[in-house]
Amino acid sequence: MAGRTAMKIRRAKTGDVKAIHRLVNSFAEKHAMIPRSLNDLYENLRDLIICEDNGSIKGVCALHVLWEDLAEIRSLAVKKEAHRIGVGKLLVRKALRDARALGASKVFALTYQPEYFIKSFGFREIDKASLPQKIWGDCLRCHKFPECDETAVIIEF
């Protein structure tokens, strides 16, 4: 396409947070993911990776370290107009590379789309109870606890 630049994956900056907030919460409004507050996004800014195309954020993903060998992919969201062009895969691959570089040997996600992670990256489904760091850390504060309807998936390397 004329005038189109290559999509770029980069770390989020403070100036990106409001757009990330709108994107993530647009999915949360459809009950497709857990909402994130502006405060939470700013506090976890270093976890956030974005996909940018021509200066516009097309997608976001977070990698959050929970323990010595365990990290979580959170808030994977891609704008509707950028679906099916590989934005999500670029973001997850970057998160997995970062996890390895940080020394995590396991990465999990709680998701409404487990097949995406299983088919695209080789994750496998697990029982949420096998993630006590997550349950006793974040899940207790979630409005869906203890009736979580997300599926836990994990990949080990």
Q: CA dihedral defined by 77, 91, 17, 151, rounded to 10 degrees?
A: 40
Per-residue model confidence (pLDDT) at position 141: 58
- Classify 3 in phi/psi space as left (phi over 0), alpha (psi -120 to 50) or beta: left
Residue 14's pLDDT band (cuts 50, 70, 90): very high
Residue 131's pLDDT band (cuts 50, 70, 90): confident
Per-residue model confidence (pLDDT) at position 76: 98
Q: How far apart are CA 47 and CA 65, in angstroms?
A: 8
Per-residue model confidence (pLDDT) at position 150: 86
Superfamily of domain 8-156: Gcn5-related N-acetyltransferase (GNAT) (3.40.630.30)
Residue 34's pLDDT band (cuts 50, 70, 90): confident
Whether pLDDT at 147 is above 60: yes
Whether pLDDT at 82 is above 90: yes
Whether pLDDT at 135 is above 90: no
Domain extents in the chain: 8-156
Degrees (nearest 5) of the Cα angle 70, 151, 34?
85
Mean pLDDT computed over 41-65: 97
Residue 138's pLDDT band (cuts 50, 70, 90): low
Contact 106, 126 (CB under 8 A): no
Per-residue model confidence (pLDDT) at position 6: 82
